[in-house]
């Protein structure tokens, strides 16, 4: 049986169009691929990376061995720095996340998002605003009214993470003030909310999925441009009249100085990956929206997201602009 992979599809398209195929692309891939995960095993970035690799292997989309390595530390700084140091190496990939944008803004790293070759945004990882099921707040408007009448508290993981940014963008759009309570893990967030220590939390959908399903918590709004595939009944802030969106990039990048031909090879390959049922199951299970963008458009997205993140952190005094 003939195996039809992304390489053969890309080459066939180029030949049909009468285009010359550079030797580098003709011979690619010919070596082992190293897929670096900048976080520990079992986390969100690790699950995404291994889902992509499993699909590449299952459907013979990469003609060669693939090694997945975890290089955790420094909120992604160690792993991303390692990949960035491999400029020009077409056999290195890594997955982006919120820390890919946020860590260089709050720490002294030797890399930023601009030190990579963007391949594609495969999914968006946005935030939920959540209250207890027995809370007096049944919708966002009610929360806003309470904030204008008195003090409200919103908790999130960390003092300068995507939860803080989302809460601040919401407050700006609603013209309210709130007290932000930085808390460690997702489990601690849930505990703070269920114990009544805070009025609401901003959390990744995966951190509160069990409690939402069990009915002990209620989600008021979602911060992406479209509703979550896993929670389609939860409205976005934007559709409720709060003019902001915020999501983080679940995408794939390579080191800097990758040739356009190799970049396009990976764009074509990942376009096949996201069509597979295993990827669609990953999106649904993790409550992510799948609106892919590629190449230069992904580069523009990373720049815009970093600017929004930086400006918000500077506005609240978390960093110096």
- Tens digit of each residue's pLDDT (9 = 90 or more) over 243-290: 999 988 899 999 999 999 999 999 999 999 999 999 999 988 877 777
Give span(s): CATH 3.40.190.150, the chain: 6-125+248-315
pLDDT of residue 1: 30
Cis peptide before 29 (omega within 30 of 0): yes
pLDDT surpasses 50 at 17:
no
Query: Which CATH number is 6-125+248-315's, of 3.30.70.380, 3.90.1150.10, 3.40.190.150, 3.60.20.10?
Result: 3.40.190.150
pLDDT surpasses 60 at 6:
no
Tally DSSP H helices, then E strands, for the chain: 12, 11
Give, in words, the CATH class of 135-240.
alpha beta
Average pLDDT, the chain: 89
Average pLDDT, integer, range 284-303: 88
What are the tens digits of pLDDT across the range 180-199?
A: 999 876 678 889 999 999 99
pLDDT surpasses 70 at 210:
yes
pLDDT surpasses 90 at 138:
yes
What's this model's pTM, rounded to 2 decimal places? 0.80
Q: Which helix (H) or strand (E) holds 98?
A: helix 98-106
> What whole-number distance in Å separates Cα of residue 92 and Cα of residue 84?
9
Give span(s): CATH 3.40.190.10, the chain: 135-240
What are the tens digits of pLDDT across the range 63-121?
A: 999 999 999 999 899 999 999 999 999 999 999 988 899 999 989 999 999 999 999 99
The 10 Å CB-count burial string (b at 16+, else e) for 95-122 is: bbbbbbbbbbbbeebebbbebbbbbbbb
């Amino acid at each position: 049986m003939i195996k039809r992979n992304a390489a053969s599809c890309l080459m066939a398209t180029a030949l049909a169009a009468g285009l010359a195929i550079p030797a580098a692309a003709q011979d690619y891939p010919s070596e082992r691929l190293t897929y670096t995960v900048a976080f520990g095993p079992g986390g969100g970035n690790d699950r995404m990376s291994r889902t992509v690799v499993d699909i590449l292997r299952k459907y013979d989309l990469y003609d060669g061995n693939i090694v997945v390595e975890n290089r955790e530390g420094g909120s992604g700084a160690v792993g991303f720095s390692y990949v960035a140091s491999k400029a020009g190496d077409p056999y290195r990939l890594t997955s982006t996340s919120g820390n890919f944008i946020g860590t260089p803004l709050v720490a002294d790293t030797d890399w930023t998002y601009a030190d990579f070759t963007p391949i594609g945004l495969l999914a968006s990882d946005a935030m939920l605003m959540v209250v207890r099921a027995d809370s007096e707040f049944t919708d966002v408007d009610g929360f806003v009214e309470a904030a204008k009448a008195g003090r409200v508290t919103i908790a999130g993981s960390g003092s300068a993470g995507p939860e803080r940014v989302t809460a601040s963008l919401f407050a700006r759009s609603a013209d309210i003030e709130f007290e932000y309570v930085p808390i460690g893990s997702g489990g601690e967030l849930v505990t703070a909310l269920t114990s009544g220590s805070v009025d609401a939390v901003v959390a990744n959908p995966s951190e509160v999925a069990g409690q939402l399903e069990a009915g002990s918590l209620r989600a008021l709004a979602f911060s992406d441009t479209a509703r979550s595939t896993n929670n389609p009944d939860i409205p976005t802030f934007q559709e409720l009249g709060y003019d902001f969106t915020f999501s983080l990039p679940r995408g794939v990048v390579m080191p800097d100085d990758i040739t356009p031909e190799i970049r396009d090879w990976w764009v074509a390959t990942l376009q096949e990956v996201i069509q597979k049922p295993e990827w669609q199951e990953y999106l649904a299970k993790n409550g992510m929206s799948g609106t892919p963008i590629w190449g230069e458009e992904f580069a523009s997205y990373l720049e815009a997201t970093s600017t929004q993140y930086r400006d918000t952190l500077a506005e609240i005094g978390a960093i110096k602009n």
